[in-house]
Amino acid sequence: MELPHAYTTITPAVPEWLNKGDNAWQLTAATLVGIQSMPGLVILYASIVKKKWAVNSAFMALYAFAAVLICWVLVGYRMAFGDKLLPFWAQGAPALGQKFLITRAKVPESGHFHDDGRPESETVEPYYPMASLVYFQFTFAAITMILLAGSVLGRMNIRAWMAFVPLWLIFSYTVGAFSLWGGGFLYHWGVIDYSGGYVIHLSSGIAGFTAAYWVGPRLKSDRERFPPNNVLLMLAGAGLLWMGWSGFNGGAPYAANIDASIAVLNTNICAATSLLVWTSLDVVFFGKPSVIGAVQGMMTGLVCITPGAGLVQSWAAIVMGMLAGSVPWVSMMVLHKKSSLLQKVDDTLGVFHTHAVAGLLGGILTGLFAEPALCRLILPVTNSRGAFYGGSGGFQLVKQLVAAMFVIGWNIVSTTIILLGIRLFIPLRMPDDQLMIGDDAVHGEEAYALWGDGEKYDPTRHSGWNNTSSLYAEEIAPSPYINGARGVTINL
């Protein structure tokens, strides 16, 4: 059957190597991953924290998304996916010129070779332009940065955060990305990280925990009581995160192929299983299901399946979901209370448990359950398989563990050096007077202002039980900070 004219026409905008389906899916997947951050995590963070930190938490995510993009196209992309400079780092350069962006996408140094130098697999060359790949990989870098922010919400100096974002992206994220995805030494050794269990989740969890240590804790009152200000809106953010994960793992094969389909299905199976297990454990041990707990279970399931989403069978995705809903639950609910280190470090949203523990668990389970036939669909190293399938699978598990140790070590060291350097110029933690007040002191704005500063409450303009009495004159107390609306003073 003759193909429609639209699929056969060659023009300057449609070169012969362009596959419109792959390009459409890659741009869609990139947009889905972007939506996980903007607005997904912006909404989730703004809703899951105390009311006084809603604006600050949302802004940290918003700023990171914008700052990472500019740093990414200036130097970051080609430090992570450019030509090799060191075994763990590529040569940085801008990704801005049209000569670079309209050429066929290519992941340099991604070809694989046998020990004797013979080529084992070809360099990855997707059927769309570099511009699609640059943007897709940016969304991964951005969400890693925003996940890290979850550890330091509610007390990190916003100016320190603004300095930290570009430095951490350049000196930490690009190293993990090149080492595992861009043709670095872990890639050539055959370590499996399908879509970021190590590059994104283990690194953000470890770096976040390290940052929380150096920044210091929230106020004692905030640590003891930190209720979400809007549970329903938190669920909306969590829903965007879950649905966006289809682009997260479905876009990882760099093509709209059958492996993308397997990855999307496994991602959702594991997330649902983990959510149900976490909720069941809450009911068994605490007598009632927690909505926040359900969101955490969803998150750990999504994280756990990520390093093996397109490489494990769907029954294994259920097993991984069961472990993702229980192992991080134990680390958060049981081990956390018994560990003096975990107690000392104030990890605001428990990113260590939901991302570092779940990401490490997923990497190890991928080393167990990676199925040989699925591995052949996409992995560069022939005969890759998990330990469950015998052969060289036992050594694959060793590779997964060694790679995890490298990612953990690099993130601890790099994050520490970056923060100690910033601390020489900018305090890492807000002063206590700002911590007492929150958004109004830091931004001069509040999340929920019913009427503005200095505006008197007019009971005739509001319906309700209290407008029958003229004894109450309600007035907003003037704020000592900029333009914010702070508490209510009632004069009887």
Instruction: Give the CATH number, domain containing residue 145.
Output: 1.10.3430.10
Most confident of 27-41, 106-120, 445-459: 27-41
What is the sign of the dihedral through the CA atoms of 114, 361, 418 and 169? positive
Residue 487 lies in a domain: no
Position 467 scores a pLDDT of 43
* Residue 390: pLDDT over 70: yes
Assigned domain for 483 exists: no
Q: Which of 263, 321, 222, 217 is nearest to 25 (CA)?
A: 263
In a domain, 450, yes or no: no
Has residue 413 been placed in a domain? yes
How many CB atoms within 10 Å of residue 229? Answer: 17
Question: Does residue 441 lie within any of the structural domains?
Answer: no
Confidence of residue 113 (pLDDT cuts 50, 70, 90): confident
The mean pLDDT of 173-200, rounded to a whole number, is 95
**pLDDT of 320-334, one tens digit each?**
999 999 999 999 999
Handedness of CA 329, 292, 141, 317 (dihedral sign): positive
Query: What is the pTM assigned to this prediction?
Result: 0.89
Distance between CA atoms of residues 340 and 325, nearest Å: 24
The predicted model gives 3-21 an average pLDDT of: 80
Mean pLDDT for 2-25 is 82
Q: Which domain holds residue 65?
A: 20-433
Tally of structural domains, the chain? 1
Domain annotation covers residue 472: no
Name the amino acid, one letter, at 204: S
Indicate whether 26 belongs to any domain.
yes
Residue 5's pLDDT is what? 60
Residue 40 lies in a domain: yes
CA dihedral angle for residue 397, residue 400, residue 404, residue 410, rounded to 10 degrees:
140
pLDDT at residue 428 is higher than 50: yes
**Summary mean pLDDT of the chain:** 90
